[in-house]
Structure 1
Amino acid sequence: MVNDVFMKGKNIPRKYAAAIVSHADRLFREEPTILELSNVKSPGHTISVCGDTHGQFYDVLNIFRKYGKVNEHHTYLFNGDFVDRGSWSCEVALLFYSLKILYPKNIYLNRGNHESNNMNKIYGFEDECKCKYSQRLFEMFSQSFESLPLGAVINDDYLVMHGGLPSDENCTLEDLKKINRFSQPPKEGAFMELLWSDPFEGKGFGPSQRGLGFAFGSDITENFLRKNQLRKVFRSHEVRMGGVKFEHNGKLVTVFSAPNYCDSQNNLGAIIHVVPGRGKLNQNENDDEDLLVETFEAVEHPPIKPMAYSQGGLGF
């Protein structure tokens, strides 16, 4: 596997990296904008949802060590922002893409706000990719990011997207499925909001501190779930010190999977396992018998600082 090479601090040959990205891109393009995943009729099958991993390659390897490898009985959904900030973004992306080629029905990647040219230019992935491989490989990655799905529905119960809900209260799940995702994210509209928006403790919509997207309240979450006959929203996009947080009266769950984010935040990472009838109530705030929520600490990695290849500054 590619990770054997990466663990030695080396890069795979450029032609192999290009072949991996090209093949994975073709697979992503065949997938719908909103994935539909299910394990209801497959006793013993686990669907695990991870949040941001941000180039923290050694923590990604630890996830697979602790919770199991990708295989026909264990499906992983990584909910965006797998590149930028961490200094092993190429390794994370190439590992995920390689697994996608090997297990196309057992690993899925949602797009995050960092799977975009503007963010990659500022927060390190473009410079890292050019340093380790080439400008051409970055351009191939950029094209592949445009192919990534924007969300997923698991068991017709849980909507998973990176950021937040659309600001158009008439927008339905069926509308989200119709978004033309094959471009850089726009500056407004549901496409952008799925990548950028955040929950807040108020009601309705408020301004976003990020400058893109909106803050949305518990009433927005509850109305969207009721209208679309869903149980919960899973999203990522923000550090939670415990790795996970049940918000909006338990109807929205933020999961973040980059522990000790940027080597400075001292947060835990978390993972949500969708295991119908096999969950654990009251563990890590969980109130759903079909979910198992687990947390993990950061592991050691070689002494390379976050954004080591970036020409810009470290930002949050």
Structure 2
Amino acid sequence: MAVDASYDGVRIENEMTQEFIDDMIERFKNGKKIHRKYVFQIIKAVKDLVYAEPTMVEIGVEQDHRLTVCGDTHGQFFDLLEIFRLNGYPTDTHAYLFNGDFVDRGSWSTEIALLLYAYKWLRPNGIFLNRGNHETDDMNKVYGFEGECRAKYNETVFKVFSESFSALPLATLIGDKYLVLHGGLFSDDKITLDDIRKLNRHNQRQPGQQGLMMEMLWTDPQTEPGRGPSKRGVGLQFGPDITKRFCENNGLEAIIRSHEVRMEGYEVEHDGRCITVFSAPKYCDSTENKGAFIKIGPELKLEYQVFDAVPHPDIKPMSSSSGDIPPGMMRHGSSPNVTCVR
């Protein structure tokens, strides 16, 4: 695929550059696209990188380094840029972990996915990406990402994004203390970190309606002990006793998850053992929630930073959605209590 001479952006050959990323950010802010050849190059490079990573990536925070954990960003590109403005862009000493749901709902999902992927290609150990329940085909067909790929690029771009999503790790273990996964815990108390390590995610491209992968992407905490049915129509809810047992059995201090709006951007539940972080403020332009992210240094202490939404061009959320709800899945896949503006 040739890039025609009239293309006015920075070009790349066989490797990503910071110059290309800086130019791409400005293009996206101004409503412009990058050339389709570069889209394919970025996705292919990152698919190969994440495919080679384990199902549960295990990382630490070295001296003079830091790590930032972000929750759902859901196509809110200008709010992602606000995170980077407040907290710094990814560097060799400042890594980011994005805990799924980069896409759908917001109308700049391709921009978010391409920016995160470009940084992953530039600095493979400077950005880590967990899969969320919206990095899946059935959700993308309904909540806007497939339609956005078609409108801005073409159907093939969606298909290669889909392949890359199915290659993403499902969890990240930070310093043997915090398990970060998009949804939450399991229907079986016997599940251990080793079960996650052994899960071959490459044999199952989509999470389906049951099993370990589905539970990691879809479950939610509840205040009552034990387990309960999910309000979403898929997955389940788990109580503080479930979280306590899992953390004790696996030597963890807490789990960090996303998947649900929190009005203050984050919430610490289950006696401090279950932490939800959500990084899409003013979600879908219809909820007056703040966003948050978690800063972690070498001592592995958690510092929460809350931020507000920033202005964006007047394009409505879910402008590319189809509205056809997959069987067995409730309409509002990120929180049972939030309705998105169509």
Band the TM-score falls in, shorter-chain normalisation = over 0.9
Range with greater deviation from structure 2 (163-172 or 192-201): 163-172
Range with greater deviation from structure 2 (86-95 or 3-12): 3-12
Structure 2 residue matching 1:219: 3-state secondary structure: helix
1:264-308 deviation line (CA, Å, top 9, x unaligned): 10100000111244xxxxxxxxxxx81111100000000101011
Paired residue for 1:79, among 99, 102, 107?
A: 99
1:30 aligns to what? 52
For residues 257 and 80 of structure 1, the distance between their equivalents in structure 2, rounded to whole angstroms, comes to: 11
Q: 1:158-197 maps to which residues of 2 (within 5 A)? A: 158-182=178-202, 183-197=205-219
Question: Is 1:56–1:86's contact at 8 Å kept on the other side of the alignment?
Answer: yes
Paired residue for 1:10, among 24, 28, 32?
A: 32
- Once the 2 structures are TM-superposed, how far is the Cα of residue 178 of structure 1 from its aligned partner? 1.1
The answer to whether the aligner puts 1:140 opposite 2:160 as a matched pair is yes
For residues 242 and 265 of structure 2, the distance between their equivalents in structure 1, rounded to whole angstroms, comes to: 24
The answer to whether the aligner puts 1:204 opposite 2:226 as a matched pair is yes
- Once the 2 structures are TM-superposed, how far is the Cα of residue 189 of structure 1 from its aligned partner? 1.2
Question: Is 1:258–1:268's contact at 8 Å kept on the other side of the alignment?
Answer: yes
- Once the 2 structures are TM-superposed, how far is the Cα of residue 244 of structure 1 from its aligned partner? 0.5
Cα RMSD after superposing both structures: 1.1
The answer to whether the aligner puts 1:235 opposite 2:268 as a matched pair is no
2:119 aligns to what? 99
Aligned AA for 1:212? Answer: V
- Once the 2 structures are TM-superposed, how far is the Cα of residue 43 of structure 1 from its aligned partner? 2.1
Structure 1 residue matching 2:228: 3-state secondary structure: strand
Aligned AA for 1:61? Answer: L
Question: Is 1:271–1:295's contact at 8 Å kept on the other side of the alignment?
Answer: yes
- Detail structure 1 runs of 4+ shifted over 6 Å in the superposition: none
Paired residue for 1:305, among 311, 316, 319?
A: 316
Question: Is 1:157–1:230's contact at 8 Å kept on the other side of the alignment?
Answer: yes
Q: Percent identity?
A: 52
Question: Is 1:233–1:252's contact at 8 Å kept on the other side of the alignment?
Answer: yes
Question: Is 1:276–1:291's contact at 8 Å kept on the other side of the alignment?
Answer: no
Question: Is 2:65–2:298's contact at 8 Å kept on the other side of the alignment?
Answer: no
Question: Is 2:262–2:277's contact at 8 Å kept on the other side of the alignment?
Answer: yes
Q: 1:48-87 maps to which residues of 2 (within 5 A)? A: 48-87=68-107
Paired residue for 2:295, among 265, 269, 273?
A: 273
For residues 296 and 246 of structure 2, the distance between their equivalents in structure 1, rounded to whole angstroms, comes to: 21
- TM, length-normalised to structure 2: 0.87
Question: Is 2:279–2:291's contact at 8 Å kept on the other side of the alignment?
Answer: yes
> Could you list the runs of 5+ residues in structure 1 that have no partner in the other structure?
278-288
Question: Is 2:64–2:298's contact at 8 Å kept on the other side of the alignment?
Answer: no
- Once the 2 structures are TM-superposed, how far is the Cα of residue 221 of structure 1 from its aligned partner? 0.4
For residues 89 and 215 of structure 1, the distance between their equivalents in structure 2, rounded to whole angstroms, comes to: 28
Aligned AA for 1:176? Answer: I
1:88-142 deviation line (CA, Å, top 9, x unaligned): 0000000000000001001011000000000000100000000100100100000
- Once the 2 structures are TM-superposed, how far is the Cα of residue 166 of structure 1 from its aligned partner? 1.4
Aligned AA for 1:143? Answer: E
- Once the 2 structures are TM-superposed, how far is the Cα of residue 44 of structure 1 from its aligned partner? 2.4
- TM, length-normalised to structure 1: 0.94
1:162-196 deviation line (CA, Å, top 9, x unaligned): 00111111111100111121211121011100000
1:260 aligns to what? 282
- Once the 2 structures are TM-superposed, how far is the Cα of residue 310 of structure 1 from its aligned partner? 2.0
For residues 145 and 43 of structure 1, the distance between their equivalents in structure 2, rounded to whole angstroms, comes to: 32
- Once the 2 structures are TM-superposed, how far is the Cα of residue 311 of structure 1 from its aligned partner? 2.7
- Once the 2 structures are TM-superposed, how far is the Cα of residue 3 of structure 1 from its aligned partner? 1.1
